[in-house]
Structure 1
Amino acid sequence: MSSGFIKTEDGVDIFYKDWGPKDAQPIVFHHGWPLSSDDWDTQMLFFLAEGYRVVAHDRRGHGRSSQADTGNDMDHYAADASAVAEHLDLTNAVHIGHSTGGGEVARYVAQFGQPQGRVAKAVLVSAVPPLMLKTDANPGGTPIAVFDGFRKALAQNRAQFFLDVASGPFYGFNRPNAVVSDGIVRNWWRQGMMGSALAHYDGIKAFS
């Protein structure tokens, strides 16, 4: 099956894509906040053409997965990723995570991945671990006021906030002489608006 849903132990439906030969080495992609598995389509098509099996899922509260009002935290994200890997019987897989997805990969590998021989490698791309928040132990982190601002903007006007993020700092389109891709901005916004406002709100705490 090229796509489908699995149900987690707490009753959440998780959407996944599973492309390519089932006997090939899997590459599993974990998306960032507040996106979906669609954010990896370009990379999935590339590695599919190279002969790999490529898999990605929509995190709970994101994309086509259930808009769960609980469990929007790293432990549940990792458990959901494990449920997908178990359902598809993925072994010797390369797990690639971007941003919040990097936190998901790190937690998944630590809690579920290696004892079953399911993980070959982990790749963290601009990932959130070990900690984004500024604390006494992490003085170079991001101040809590920034994350509070994210929550306020999301609660007041999520559609405009997501448009501002995608057209500005997320892709560096706010830098001098940057060439802005309207298609990329619209695709980011589309993915974000598919998900749950509550999951996105709670997710800010999860990735910070």
Structure 2
Amino acid sequence: MHVAGDSYVYSKDGTRIFFKDWGPRDAQPIMFHHGWPLSSDDWDNQMLFFLANGYRVIAHDRRGHGRSAQVSQGHDMDHYAADAAAVVEHLDLRNAIHVGHSTGGGEAARYTARHGNGRVAKLVLVGAVPPIMVKTPNNPGGQPIEVFDASRAALAANRSQFYFDVASGPFYGFNRDGVKPSEAMIQNWWRQGMTGAANAHYQSIKAFSETDFTEDLKLIEVPTLVLHGGDDQMVPAADSAELTAKLLKNPTLKIYAGLPHGMATTHADVINPDILSFIKG
């Protein structure tokens, strides 16, 4: 169900999902999938860049994030992928490029594997969580569950402080020597996070850390660009991008020495042209 002129669509279980849709309707679409605990606003720079390059750009707020409904249920990758599919089907996007960052990279991978047949032209994963983040017998290089338990505890105790700390530290690499923090980036990250729902963000930690995307990656046949920061403190490249590239049928892997998890924001001038050249290539 959709109300004309309204930037919302209702997913299969009735959850209201907010989306942006800018640019010529006949241009090739690029759909952006944001990271945790942010919103489609995290893609402002990319959306303006690709809009200026003649593309139609779409981004949605994940359920419980941004302006989408703050619901009790469905804070898992299957629902996230189905919600993305609801936006795609409503707008009837075809020959689309899907770009996912962090948690959104997992969402974009599962969407492409399960819902994207015939609709997806290429996939771009930026600092993305696949194949799986948590340490398991099959993923010995992963992060111990205690890391994610600590995030849940910090979120529950004082979400506002926790989000401020993540944004001013490891997310953008502002805790590294010689890196000058951007107060505006920190505040914008905090604002996006606090706009969403605490319950959704709490449950989403399990979704982004414990979901295994191995089988999704094996199913993806479209050309896939895997971009990762070499100094990503949130999703270390050795246990994500490098393993992801080995599972994909048609990967291009690029690791940027010294760049942080939030490199699409801090280094948009580097990342955007590389994505554009992959799309055009």
TM-score, normalization by structure 1: 0.97
Residue 230 (structure 2) pairs with residue 198 (structure 1): no
Q: Where in structure 1 are there 5+ consecutive unaligned residues?
A: none
What SS is found at the alignment partner of 1:27? strand
What SS is found at the alignment partner of 2:191? helix
Report the count of equivalent residues: 206
Equivalence for 2:243: none
What amino acid is the match of 1:63?
G
Equivalence for 1:138: 139
Equivalence for 1:59: 62
Q: Deviations over 1:87-107 (max 9, x none)?
A: 001000000000000000110
Equivalence for 2:124: 123
What amino acid is the match of 1:157?
N
Residue 52 (structure 2) pairs with residue 49 (structure 1): yes
Distance 1:128 1:159 in 2: 24
What SS is found at the alignment partner of 1:95? strand
Q: Which residue of 5, 9, 12 maps to 2:8? A: 5
Residue 30 (structure 2) pairs with residue 17 (structure 1): no
1:136: how far off?
1.1
1:159: how far off?
0.2
1:175: how far off?
0.3
Distance 1:23 1:11 in 2: 29
Residue 52 (structure 2) pairs with residue 71 (structure 1): no
> Share of identical aligned residues, percent?
70
Cα 1:119–1:136 shift into 2, 3 Å: same
What SS is found at the alignment partner of 1:124? strand
Q: Is the 8 A contact 1:69 1:198 kept in 2?
A: yes
Distance 1:139 1:186 in 2: 35
What amino acid is the match of 1:71?
G
What SS is found at the alignment partner of 1:32? coil
Q: CA RMSD in A?
A: 1.0
Equivalence for 1:113: 116
What amino acid is the match of 1:50?
N
Q: Deviations over 1:72-125 (max 9, x none)?
A: 0000000000000000010000000000000001100111001xx210001111
Q: Where in structure 2 are there 5+ consecutive unaligned residues?
A: 210-281
Distance 1:93 1:137 in 2: 33
Whose relative contact order is higher, 1 or 2, with alpha carbons under 8 Å and at least 6 apart? Answer: 1
What SS is found at the alignment partner of 2:7? strand
Distance 1:20 1:164 in 2: 36
Runs of 4+ in structure 1 deviating by more than 6 angstroms, as ranges, are: none
Distance 1:69 1:150 in 2: 20
Q: Is the 8 A contact 1:3 1:18 kept in 2?
A: no
Equivalence for 1:147: 148
Q: Is the 8 A contact 1:2 1:17 kept in 2?
A: no
TM-score, normalization by structure 2: 0.72
